[in-house]
């Protein structure tokens, strides 16, 4: 399987050999079309977010849609406008792994909080209005 060199790989190789002194000074160049396309996609996703309220979605469906659109927009902004798509894998891991781990920990704390809440309700008998222990 042949490895095709991208423009970034070519610039990096030229900068390392010393033959491409202008390439290292110039930096990465991305076509403006990708930024306009992502901007349009963000506009569409924002429209969908507002349509969730317009069509009066409620409960779990409302929050699932809002959070889905929020994560999609945040991912596009980080990937393209913050140039994360073109960064090294180690840097992406260094930036993306800690918030993901925090989200997992928050989820685990949420499960623990629900367990504690329902254990207290069962033990103290708050649903019936009287304590279960004499």
Q: What is the pTM of this model?
A: 0.58
The pLDDT of residue 106: 97
What are the sequence ranges of the domains in the chain? 31-86, 88-134
Work out the average pLDDT over 50-64.
96
pLDDT exceeding 70 applies to what percent of the chain?
Answer: 72
Work out the average pLDDT over 80-103.
89
Q: C-alpha distances in angstroms, 7 versus 15, 30, 75, 87, 127?
A: 12, 10, 24, 14, 66
Comparing 28 with 35, which gets the higher pLDDT?
Answer: 35
120-129 contact pairs (CB < 8 A, 24+): none
The pLDDT of residue 123: 86
The pLDDT of residue 56: 96
> How far, in Å, CA of 42 to CA of 81, rounded?
11
């Amino acid at each position: 399987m042949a490895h095709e060199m991208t423009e970034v790989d070519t610039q990096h190789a030229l900068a390392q050999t010393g033959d491409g002194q202008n390439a290292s000074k110039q930096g990465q160049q991305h076509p403006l079309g990708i930024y306009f396309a992502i901007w349009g996609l963000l506009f569409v996703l924002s429209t969908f977010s507002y349509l969730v309220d317009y069509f009066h979605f409620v409960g779990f469906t409302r929050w699932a849609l809002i959070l889905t659109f929020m994560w999609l927009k945040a991912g596009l902004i980080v990937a393209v406008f913050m140039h994360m798509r073109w960064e090294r894998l180690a840097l992406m891991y260094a930036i993306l792994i800690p918030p993901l781990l925090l989200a997992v920990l928050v989820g685990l704390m949420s499960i623990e909080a629900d367990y504690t809440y329902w254990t207290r309700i069962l033990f103290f008998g708050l649903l019936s209005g009287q304590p279960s222990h004499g």
